[in-house]
Structure 1
Amino acid sequence: MSALPSDLELSNPREKLTKPVQATLSSLKMLDVGKWPIFSLCSEEELQLIRQACVFGSAGNEVLYTTVNDEIFVLGTNCCGCLGLGDVQSTIEPRRLDSLSGKKIASLSYGSGPHIVLATTEGEVFTWGHNAYSQLGNGTTNHGLVPCQISTNLSNKQVIEVACGSYHSLVLTSDGEVFAWGYNNSGQVGSGSTVNQPIPRRVTGCLQNKVVVTIACGQMCCMAVVDTGEVYVWGYNGNGQLGLGSSGNQPTPCRVAALQGIRVQRVACGYAHTLVLTDEGQVYAWGANSYGQLGTGNKSNQSYPTPVTMEKDRIIEIAACHSTHTSAAKTQGGHVYMWGQCRGQSVILPHLTHFSCTDDVFACFATPAVSWRLLSVEPDDHLTVAESLKREFDNPDTADLKFLVDGKYIYAHKVLLKIRCEHFRSSLEDNEDDIVEMSEFSYPVYRAFLEYLYTDSISLSPEEAVGLLDLATFYRENRLKKLCQQTIKQGICEENAIALLSAAVKYEAQDLEEFCFRFCINHLTVVTQTSGFAEMDHDLLKNFISKASRVGAFKN
């Protein structure tokens, strides 16, 4: 077994070992990068050019950002050459990283050394920085002062996501395979041994025939979510951060059995704790809890998944960062909560903040002030084609057609409707009228439909989305049908689950039907006591009981 790094030699490993940030792309309209102290070194002109950014390092003293011209700049203390400039000199002025000029970043993560792992939009992988434990994957233990493309075992693969542990690295390919390398004293590369891994090696075992959809790393552990919603874990488990009900290390992938019947969509890892987000908008946490970072109301570690209770609004995003004991989440209604370590204090229950994004939690509350993911910033001063079309929706000044629905007008443009919708292509072909009366659907539903044709998205409550699902089925708009199902899922609760299940069956929305059925089974006791269940259509009730029986819902 390889020796511990010198700065990790403690009797209590959770007090020193750190995990890298899981850096997935966010899309934020108006990101205030100025909330991170390191950006105070940049001029106002430089800040306005930033399109992506990641603040990292043991004290938040390093930053990498891309500009509107696809140039990459770095700034900071440059520990172990982590800025990739070919030297170890610190810089208080942004310096261009010429070796990656023109490359577009798809995913980026960093470790404790720090070392950097970057995936481009073309699926290439570049690494640089600290390398004492082969975490760069280039077969050596020499620090990498400049970005080096890693192709061994990845040459025919397209990498779409990267994650780093303290001193190990993990990547996910477009075909759902996971590769790992680097420090392996606790089995964190998933090879079944504790020998360090100098080059990328595919993680197999229980993942052999699974399709992985997202990954994350703890300080010395790994998480992988597969397309069925199951979570597989491996590596260090001294604080119960694998969620297996024990504290023993796991050298190969193992399924988190306690999440049986629950579909996980996202996973985020903190210093020594884990958060997962389910498709029902529920958060579960486990692992270290010395600062209340599990949000359970106490400071006791948990080795099993434990639900985190927030307001009734569903959760749509979770956040945790390798170098902090802080957790955060965002609700569908836009509320941002944080818990765990907050500027030295312990917050043991989710606390409502005044922020509009989880990133601000880490910029303002976490120590150090680092970003938990790669941030993507959209420009404010230029309207894209999509944004221009969105602005013209329901604009009477430019419209040449108006719909009269429930006594109210909705303004539209014939040419756009014909381009975007097969129904209008035929119905408006020889129609000279500039007013169309609509009585089949309600005003909110029809307005949402027309707005979708301008924006490619829907803005409607989950309850009203059922009516839009009816319209989408009638007009054979399959993509709109999928969006409606996603929106309806976000509004499901025990009281309306049967009504939504009935709607899914009526409109042949199979994905929504399966989701609603599974929700009913998971909340069977409460659902069967609702008025909706009592008034259930006879045939639907008969089919529901039959299907529920087949999945063992009525077994004692």
Structure 2
Amino acid sequence: MSLDFVDKWPICSVLDPETLATIKKICVFGSSGNEAIYITKNDDVYAMGSNCSSCLGLGDAHSSFEPRKIEPLCKKQIKSLAYGSGPHVVACIANGDMYSWGHNGYCQLGNGNSNQGMAPNLITTNLQSKKIVQVACGSHHSLGLTEEGEIFAWGQNNCGQIGSGTTTNQPTPRKVTAIIGTRKATSVACGQTSSMALMDNGEVYGWGYNGNGQLGLGSNVNQPNPCKVQALSNVIVTQIVCGYAHTLALTDEGWLFSWGANSYGQLGTGNKANLVSPNRINSEERFVEIAASHYSHISAGLTQTGKVFMWGQCRGQSITSPMLSRFSTTDDIFATFACPQVTWRLYSVDEVPGRDIITDISKSFDDASTSDVKFVAEGREICVHKSILKIRCDHFRSMFQAHWDEDKKDVIEVNYPYTVYKAFLSFLYTDMVNLCPEEAIGLLELANSYCETSLKKECEQIIKQGITVENAAMLYAAAIKFDARELEEFCFRFALNHLTAVTQTEAFSQLDESILKGFIMKAAQAGAFKY
């Protein structure tokens, strides 16, 4: 995220460049986007804005555009932060502790009473020895997800959004067990008065208010207990987000589903009719991220090719089908087109000091007028600079030494595909990779050979986003070959989730015997062949 992006949030425009440069993570919230909490690179936590209901956690009710420290949270490494409509705020930190503050008229702070919380208060009831890894907030209720995949809920429960089987408000965290039982959740999300959970097997459950069909159950009946979204049984969901009264789900194959309220076109279906069951949004693009906020009726999605689409209520206009933007992140959409302009997640700032220098270096890649060495791959030249390559890569640092022949050459031939080697050299100039998943496999091999760990991770991410039933077995074998453990596990899980289809592909039939044996044994241990 550049400093220009931070300036798009109106409340951040009052910060000076020096302060902006220190920001590592930021959350903008409030009914008008008038409150902000940010974390600096030194892990200090600051708040600024109107301080409605003491939601800034500063110990008082004073409003100020001058940033002030939230002392109890400094140096605590906040991992997840969510806000409600009161507003109230809930945050969890690196050690698994959870804090809350702000509006508490419905016991949404989880501290056993309904008194307003002026400063961060540690939530402990029913959470002994539990580590919270994610938090989510609806209008006046809260959810916490533990390291073990358990869901705890508390606060307003007039529509059953706590999942307790009743409509009685819950003053302290209560474990959600009905229907879900011992199943493990991987993430939770909240609409205004509804709750959703994504399980580790890709199933989705919803409970609470369902007047607009936002639970995806095929009806408009409220649910005080979790109910499985049966219409998604044939897909594996990897991300779930909630808008004010609509829901989006992303599958491991890049398919996007939507359901619920659609008065502004937030379902992306091309019309404004509500849907009580999940509907796949038609798109030639493969989505890799979706975004929504219970504060608004806007939706956004990022595709595998880096395109960002938006739909729904965008600055007062109703966009009923995904519209391509010129932004590079879904966060840009919420900074510019959402109403109010709030962040849909705790956003991590990736600003790098000296970006003008980085821009100039990036532009010098493949510039024949300034280069001092050329690489030739498949008969095509790539113009680069020895000094930059030596600074950025140990392989070239060794290559360009006086006792090596390459140091004296102006042209060096390499036995790699042109697109792959150019992408590798470009990465050394830009820290970015622009390849399709199939080509990224070749780059992964090169990165593995040259011991370029960061490039290897970039390749793995690209490959993950391009996995399909047809290529899963091939990618699994490639991950093993190039010692990409995280990618190997990802491909295995994908193949396990689509086992019947994957085993019928040509790629699976071509697996090396040892890899095939290993896969079968691992699948057996995971319970794939149990009756």
2:381 equivalent to 1:374: no
3-state secondary structure, aligned to 2:280:
strand
Q: 1:237-386, aligned counterparts within 5 Å?
A: 237-310=210-283, 312-381=284-353
Contact residue 277 and residue 318 of structure 1 kept, 8 A: yes
Task: Report the Cα offset of residue 114 of structure 1.
Answer: 0.7
- Equivalent AA in structure 1 for residue 211 of structure 2: G
- Equivalent AA in structure 1 for residue 435 of structure 2: L
Q: 1:63-102, aligned counterparts within 5 Å?
A: 63-102=36-75
Task: Report the Cα offset of residue 472 of structure 1.
Answer: 7.7
- Equivalent AA in structure 2 for residue 261 of structure 1: N
Aligned-partner Cα distance in 2 for 1:367–1:479: 37
Sort the Cα spacing of 1:174 and 1:403 in 2 relative to 1 into closer, same or farther, 3 A. farther
Q: Deviations over 1:295-333 (max 9, x none)?
A: 1111111111111234x2211221111121111112222
Contact residue 30 and residue 378 of structure 1 kept, 8 A: no
Aligned-partner Cα distance in 2 for 1:417–1:332: 30
Q: Deviations over 1:363-384 (max 9, x none)?
A: 222222222111222333269x
Task: Report the Cα offset of residue 484 of structure 1.
Answer: 5.0
Aligned-partner Cα distance in 2 for 1:89–1:153: 33
Task: Report the Cα offset of residue 46 of structure 1.
Answer: 3.1
Sort the Cα spacing of 1:508 and 1:183 in 2 relative to 1 into closer, same or farther, 3 A. same
Contact residue 343 and residue 365 of structure 1 kept, 8 A: yes
Q: 1:187-266, aligned counterparts within 5 Å?
A: 187-266=160-239
Structure 2 partner of 1:39:
12
Aligned-partner Cα distance in 2 for 1:165–1:276: 18
Aligned-partner Cα distance in 2 for 1:300–1:251: 25
2:465 equivalent to 1:462: no
Task: Report the Cα offset of residue 487 of structure 1.
Answer: 2.9
Sort the Cα spacing of 1:279 and 1:453 in 2 relative to 1 into closer, same or farther, 3 A. farther
The TM-score normalised by the length of structure 2 is 0.79
> Which ranges in structure 2 are unaligned for 5 or more consecutive residues?
482-487, 521-531
Task: Report the Cα offset of residue 219 of structure 1.
Answer: 1.1
- Equivalent AA in structure 2 for residue 339 of structure 1: W
Aligned-partner Cα distance in 1 for 2:509–2:17: 65
Range with bigger deviation, 46-55 or 296-305: 46-55
Q: 1:382-397, aligned counterparts within 5 Å?
A: none
Aligned-partner Cα distance in 1 for 2:364–2:348: 26
Aligned-partner Cα distance in 1 for 2:139–2:44: 28
- Equivalent AA in structure 2 for residue 75 of structure 1: M
Task: Report the Cα offset of residue 137 of structure 1.
Answer: 0.7
Sort the Cα spacing of 1:478 and 1:192 in 2 relative to 1 into closer, same or farther, 3 A. farther
Q: 1:177-196, aligned counterparts within 5 Å?
A: 177-196=150-169
Structure 1 partner of 2:465:
490
Task: Report the Cα offset of residue 513 of structure 1.
Answer: 7.1
Q: Choose between structure 1 and 2 for higher RCO, CA contacts under 8 A separated by at least 6 residues.
A: 1
3-state secondary structure, aligned to 1:205:
coil
- Equivalent AA in structure 2 for residue 442 of structure 1: P
Kindly, what percent of the aligned residue pairs are identical? 48
Task: Report the Cα offset of residue 498 of structure 1.
Answer: 4.3
Task: Report the Cα offset of residue 109 of structure 1.
Answer: 0.6
3-state secondary structure, aligned to 2:118:
strand
- Equivalent AA in structure 1 for residue 36 of structure 2: V
RMSD: 4.3
Of residues 135, 138, 144, the one that matches 1:165 is 138
Sort the Cα spacing of 1:391 and 1:156 in 2 relative to 1 into closer, same or farther, 3 A. farther
Structure 2 partner of 1:442:
417
- Equivalent AA in structure 1 for residue 314 of structure 2: C
Q: Deviations over 1:448-487 (max 9, x none)?
A: 5688899998653222134346668999999988865653
